[in-house]
Structure 1
Amino acid sequence: MREIKFRAWDENSQEMIYEVGITPEGIPYSIPENAEGCDQFNYFLTCHKMQYTGLRDKYGREIYEGDVVRNHRRYSNELLEVFWQEEVADYSSDGVYWTKEVPGFRFKRINKGMMTVFVANVDLEVIGNIYEDPELQEASHASK
């Protein structure tokens, strides 16, 4: 079974906060190291939540939503963005519309805009994320 954990990008402080909890209302929080009581929390109201995928890259680093990974398979060296999708809907090459209502983590090819589901994590390397390293997406779009 996959470990469920989150991180959050705090818009106010412009930093990534790891090991955050989520309130029933969906608000990320953390317990400060200097907390003296069990009721002291830091809430992150202006943030982006990202869930751990349960995967690790070829170096053992955890892969989260919002990460940008390099796919080393067959020397492709392509950049992929990790995201969660509730359902998949697309057109096939013959023009037939299809849907698969299978929620899950997906990998979007940044420089092609296409999505892929099946990527072996042993071929992946986390090189950044869309919040701390936005230039990864910009550089990929510029190289098209």
Structure 2
Amino acid sequence: MREIKFRAWCGEQKRMFNKVLIGNTSDPSHEDYTAHCIYRDGCWYHSDEHDSVEFMQYTGFKNLEGKEVYEGDILSDVESEFEFFLARVHYDESQGKYVLLDWRGEYTGDLDEWYECPIVGNIHQNPELLRD
């Protein structure tokens, strides 16, 4: 069975929560979690601060360094037939799989072919990596 877990980016706090408990729980302060997130008024919120959050799901892949690969991660050493570049992990709902997109948002490959590459950042904390 695949492991389902999330991390969450809180833009207001400029903070990444790496272990997130989603929904209601009898013990939201449990020490295993860095954030307890709840759904209210059409948005997800970090319950302690009432700031909205954006979730990134674990893809089920780990790179060669053993780091878990999440949606929004930026991978390096992804080579096309023309150049060396960086790519971000994105879930493509129409294909039902994780893919890699370049800085223009164009498809560069399937994650299952490139997941072993180093993770150099993510789209929230390191957006400059994907700028032209």
- The alignment's TM-score, normalised by the length of structure 1, stands at 0.66
What's 2:29 paired with? 31
Percent of aligned pairs sharing the same letter: 29
What's 1:48 paired with? 54
Q: Which runs of 5+ in 2 are unaligned?
A: 38-45
> Hey, what's the Cα distance between the residues in 2 that align with 1:47 and 1:135?
20
Q: Does 1:87 align with 2:94?
A: yes
CA contact (8 A) 1:8 1:16 kept: yes
Runs of 4+ in 1 over 6 A off after TM superposition: none
Range with greater deviation from structure 2 (45-54 or 64-73)? 64-73
Q: Deviations over 1:60-96 (max 9, x none)?
A: 11110010001355895321100112114xxxxxxxx
CA contact (8 A) 1:9 1:49 kept: yes
| Pairwise CA RMSD | 2.6
CA contact (8 A) 1:32 1:42 kept: no
> Hey, what's the Cα distance between the residues in 2 that align with 1:13 and 1:58?
31
Give the AA of the match of 1:66: G
Q: Deviations over 1:78-125 (max 9, x none)?
A: 21100112114xxxxxxxxxxxxxx12111123672342252323x11
Q: Give the count of matched residue pairs.
A: 112
What's 2:2 paired with? 2
Q: Does 1:120 align with 2:110?
A: no
Q: Which runs of 5+ in 1 are unaligned?
A: 25-29, 34-40, 89-102
> Hey, what's the Cα distance between the residues in 2 that align with 1:66 and 1:59?
18
> Hey, what's the Cα distance between the residues in 2 that align with 1:112 and 1:105?
14
CA contact (8 A) 1:109 1:116 kept: no
> Hey, what's the Cα distance between the residues in 2 that align with 1:61 and 1:49?
18
- Structure 1 112/134 Cα, relative in aligned 2: closer, same or farther at 3 Å? closer
Give the AA of the match of 1:10: C
- The alignment's TM-score, normalised by the length of structure 2, stands at 0.71
